[in-house]
Amino acid sequence: MEHDRTGPRLPQARGPLSAAVRACLLGTAPPPGPRAADDADPYGDDLQLALYLCYELHYRGFAGVFAGLEWDPGLLAARAALEQRFLSALRAGTTVHAGVESAVEDLLAEPADATGVSHFMRDEGELWQLREYAAQRSLYHLKEADPHAFVLPRLHGRAKAAMAAVEFDEYGGGRPERVHARLFADLMSDLGLDPTYGRYLDAVAAPMLAVVNLMSLFGLHRALRGALVGHFAAVEITSSPGSRRLAEAMRRTGAGPAAEHFYDEHVEADAVHEQIVRKDVIGGLLEDEPELEADVVFGIDATGHVEDLLAAHLLEAWRSGESSLRGPLDEQNAHIS
C-alpha cells in the first residue's frame, strides 16, 4: 500500500467519532459503525472534524495515510452516517426562502444597519483578530474553488459554461501566481502566519469546519448539485461588499500589501461573478432542470445558516476579548510537523 508522503499532518481527535476515523486512517482500527453518530452534536467539534477527515481524502489527503482509503467501503459508510446527521440538522435548522428570486434578492439587498464579521473588522477589528480570522478561513481559502469544481461534470450547456468561466478566474486565469488560493497564502504571509495547507486544522473552531464541510457535502453528491449551485451563488453574490470592508480593515491595521490585495481582488472579480452566477449558472441550471429550484434555495440558505453560526462564534469571542481559536495562534504557528 502506498501512503501519501505529502499533505497536512493528521490533527488531534476531538472526541470518539474523530478518534475512530483518525485511527481508521492510521490503519489501527476499523471505521466507526453506522450508528456511532446518532447522538452526536451535528455542529460539534467531534462530528465536524470526523467528517472533515473523511472529506479531505478527496482533496490532498494526509501525510502517512493510505490514498486508497478515499474509496474504502467501510469508511464511506461511516461518512454517510456523519453526513446524514449533519444534513438532517441543516434541513431542520435552516429557514428557507419560498423561491430563488426572493432568496437572491435578499442576498443582494444588504440592510443599511447590517452587522457582521466584516463590519466588525472594518470598524474596530485589531490585527490579532485579523490574524485569527485568516487562520480560521484558511481551511476554505487555501482550497478555494476546489469544492465547487466537483459540480462541473454534473452541469451542461449554459450553466456549465458559465460555471467554468467563473472557476477559471478563481484559478487565476491560467496564471499560477493569480490563483486565489495562492493570493490567500500571500495574505497569510503578510500577517505572519504559516501558509502551509492545513496548518491550522487543530486550531480552528467547529463552526469553521461546518462551513468547509458544507461545500464538500454539496460538491461530492450529484443529487445535491442544485444545492452546490446555491452555495456558489451565495458566496459570489455576498463576496464583493464583504471583501471591500475587509480590505479597509487590512489597510487600517497595516496588515500588508498582499493582505489588502486579496480582498481588493475579490471586490472586483466577484462583482462580475455575481452577474454571471445569477443570470447564467442559476438561470441555465433552472432552465434545464426547473425541479432543482428548491435545492438551489436550500443551498443559498444553508450557506447563510452556517456562516451565521461562524460569525456568532467569532464575534462572541472577540467582543469578550478572547480568542476564537482552540489554542494560542502563535503556538500553532510555531509548530512544524
Q: Give the whole-angstrom CA distance, residue 51 versus residue 17.
A: 9
Give exposure, 127-136, as e/b (b: 16+ Cβ within 10 Å). Answer: eebbbbbbbb
Q: Taking the complete model, does pTM exceed 0.85, yes or no?
A: yes
pLDDT digit string, tens, across residues 103-135: 999 998 877 778 899 999 999 999 999 999 999
Q: What is the mean pLDDT of residues 284-311?
A: 98
pLDDT at 1: 58
Q: Give the whole-angstrom CA distance, residue 36 versus residue 51.
A: 13
pLDDT at 266: 87
Question: Predicted confidence band at 156 (pLDDT cuts at 50, 70, 90)?
Answer: very high
pLDDT at 331: 61
pLDDT digit string, tens, across residues 13-42: 999 999 999 999 999 999 999 899 999 999
Q: Decide if pLDDT at 289 tops 90.
A: yes
Most confident stretch, 123-132, 238-247, 327-336: 123-132
Residue type, 225: R
Report the chain's C-alpha Rg in angstroms.
Answer: 19
Q: What is the mean pLDDT of residues 31-57?
A: 96
Q: Give the whole-angstrom CA distance, residue 192 versus residue 100.
A: 41
Helix ranges (H only) for the chain are 16-26, 45-56, 73-93, 100-108, 117-124, 127-141, 146-149, 157-170, 180-190, 206-219, 225-253, 257-276, 283-288, 293-319, 329-334
pLDDT at 336: 36
Q: Decide if pLDDT at 164 tops 70.
A: yes
Q: Give the whole-angstrom CA distance, residue 110 versus residue 95.
A: 18
pLDDT digit string, tens, across residues 60-88: 999 999 999 999 999 999 999 999 999 99
pLDDT at 270: 65
Q: State phi, psi for 3 to the nearest 5 degrees.
A: -100, 150
Question: Predicted confidence band at 335 (pLDDT cuts at 50, 70, 90)?
Answer: very low
pLDDT at 250: 97
Q: Decide if pLDDT at 322 tops 60.
A: yes
User: In the predicted model, what is the mean pLDDT of the chain?
Assistant: 94
pLDDT at 308: 96
Beta bridge partners of 3: 66
pLDDT at 267: 86
